């Protein structure tokens, strides 16, 4: 792998992320099904060194979490209220989460990148490593990544068999799948 940080004589610029063109889709699974939805990116930037994304940071608006699979409005709002509650993400106390791209390495043969990021949810920061496709088209930079995080590392314990016994078919997976798409301009 080639590490992009610390390049001598590098030309570095900061490019703002466009929140209206950037998305985060989430999927949470339980024994008898799953739910999926979205959460908004409110702002952020990418650091670009010699026309290659070399870092960045973005803020996630946890109050914007939505469910898109439940069609019954009452059940949908009940789930969203529960996800925003202290049982899950405590959006009132922690209205934002952050992702800070710490290290970006290009794979020599695959054509994509290995990213190490610090993810902060509920005031707790943990490192996350994932693969991403990073691209440049003209003056626009974009990135796409499929990320799996273990929610229990951020003290999101509700329905977790790691913390509660005898949950049976009420068990909720610790893993949350995220599809993140970032675009500038």
Q: Using pLDDT thresholds of 50, 70 and 90, give the confidence band for residue 2.
A: very low
CA distance 107 to 75: 44
CA atoms of 76 and 119, how far apart (whole Å): 27
**What are the tens digits of pLDDT across the range 22-80?**
999 999 988 778 999 999 999 999 999 988 899 999 999 999 999 999 999 999 999 99
- Contact criterion met (CB below 8 Å) for 36 and 69: yes
**What count of other Cβ atoms lies within 10 Å of the Cβ of residue 19?**
17
- 3-state SS class at 5: coil
DSSP designation for 184: B
Number of domains in the chain: 1
Structural domain span for residue 63? 2-183
* Partners of residue 43 on adjacent β-strands: 59
Question: Which CATH number fits the domain that encloses residue 98?
Answer: 2.40.128.110
% of the chain at pLDDT higher than 70: 85
Q: What is the mean pLDDT of residues 7-29?
A: 89
pLDDT at 51: 84
pTM of the predicted structure, to 2 decimals? 0.86
Please state, in angstroms and as integers, the Cα–Cα distance from residue 97 to each residue in 31, 43, 72, 123, 170, following that order: 27, 11, 28, 8, 27
What backbone phi and psi angles, to 5 degrees, belong to 81? Answer: -60, -40
- pLDDT averaged over the chain? 88
Q: Tell me what the mean pLDDT of segment 7-11 comes to.
A: 65
Pair 94, 62: CB distance under 8 Å: yes
The tokens for 145 are: 């990544």
- Asked whether 58 and 99 are in contact (CB, 8 A), the reply is yes
């Amino acid at each position: 792998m080639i590490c992009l940080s610390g390049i001598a004589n590098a030309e570095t610029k900061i490019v703002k992320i466009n929140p209206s063109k950037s998305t985060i889709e989430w999927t949470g699974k339980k024994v008898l099904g799953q739910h999926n939805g979205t959460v908004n990116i409110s702002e952020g930037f990418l650091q670009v060194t010699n026309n290659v994304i070399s870092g960045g940071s973005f803020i996630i608006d946890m109050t914007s979490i939505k469910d898109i699979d439940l069609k019954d409005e009452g059940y949908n709002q009940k789930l969203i209220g529960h996800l925003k509650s202290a049982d899950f993400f405590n959006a009132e106390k922690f209205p934002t989460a952050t992702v800070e791209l710490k290290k970006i390495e290009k794979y020599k043969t695959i054509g994509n990148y290995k990213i190490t990021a610090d993810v902060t949810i509920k005031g707790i920061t943990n490192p996350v490593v994932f693969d991403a496709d990073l691209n440049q088209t003209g003056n626009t930079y974009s990135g796409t990544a499929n990320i799996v995080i273990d929610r229990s590392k951020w003290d999101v314990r509700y329905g977790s068999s790691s913390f509660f016994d005898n949950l049976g078919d009420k068990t909720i997976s610790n893993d949350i799948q995220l599809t993140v798409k970032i675009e500038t301009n």
